[in-house]
């Protein structure tokens, strides 16, 4: 069984028995404070470059990543190389259905020397991923999963 639009904590695993109950019972993760609904939030992450990677100025560099949402699907991914001041649309490489990761890529044509904060944000049928808040791929995940945009730092050298 696969339940679309909810995180893995709601997916049946290792079923060894089934019984009927007449009222709601919390599952293992819900009893530990995780979301009762566990609805998937739109999210994306930067795969390349790696956090703290050193790049060479003037040489084009492909930024790549993955995005995921509920069954409304990913409609856009935007990439920023200036900490979120400006964004450029990435090319989407969707999977066969909205229930799988959408790959994305964007070519950074002319990286300029210095330190850069790269930000990726996704849009699905429910809106745009949140950009403000604590950084990091696992920041703010408890108890309902994160909507925070993924941010990484790179240094572009001469």
Query: Which of the four CATH numbers 2.40.10.410, 2.60.40.650, 3.40.50.980, 3.40.50.300 does domain 43-157 have?
Result: 2.60.40.650
pLDDT-based confidence at residue 4 (cuts at 50, 70, 90): confident
* pLDDT at residue number 142: 64
Give me the residue spans of the domains in the chain.
1-39, 43-157
The DSSP code sequence of the chain is ---TTB-GGGS--S-------SS----HHHHTT--SS-BPPPEEEEEESPTT-EEETTS-EEEEEEEE-STT-EEEEEEESSTTSS-EEPEEE--SSTTSPEEEEEEE-SPPSEEEEEEEEEEETTEEPB-SS--STTTT-TTT---BPEEEEEEEE-
Q: What is the mean pLDDT of residues 101-119?
A: 96
101 or 142: which leads in pLDDT: 101
Which whole number is the average pLDDT over 78-87? Answer: 96
* Position 131 pLDDT exceeds 80: no
Q: What pLDDT does 41 receive? A: 83
Q: What is the pLDDT of residue 78?
A: 97
More confident residue, 104 or 24: 104
pLDDT for the residue 12: 75
pLDDT at position 114? 97
pLDDT at residue 35, rounded to an integer: 77
- Of 12 and 139, more confident: 12
What residues does 153 pair with on adjacent strands? Answer: 117
């Amino acid at each position: 069984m696969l339940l679309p639009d909810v995180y893995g904590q709601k997916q049946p695993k290792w079923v060894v028995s089934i019984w009927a109950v007449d009222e709601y019972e919390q599952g293992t993760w819900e009893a530990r404070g995780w979301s009762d609904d566990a609805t998937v939030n739109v999210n994306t992450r930067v795969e390349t470059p790696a956090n703290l990677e050193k790049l060479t100025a003037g040489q084009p560099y492909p930024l790549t990543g993955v995005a995921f949402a509920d069954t409304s699907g990913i409609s856009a991914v935007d990439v920023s190389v200036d900490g979120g001041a400006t964004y450029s649309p990435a090319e989407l490489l969707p999977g066969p259905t909205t229930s799988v990761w959408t790959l994305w890529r964007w070519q950074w044509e002319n990286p300029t020397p210095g330190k850069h904060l790269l930000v990726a944000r996704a849009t699905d049928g429910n809106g745009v991923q949140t950009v403000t808040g604590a950084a990091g791929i696992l920041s703010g995940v408890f108890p309902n999963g994160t909507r925070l945009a993924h941010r990484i730092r790179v240094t572009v050298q001469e």
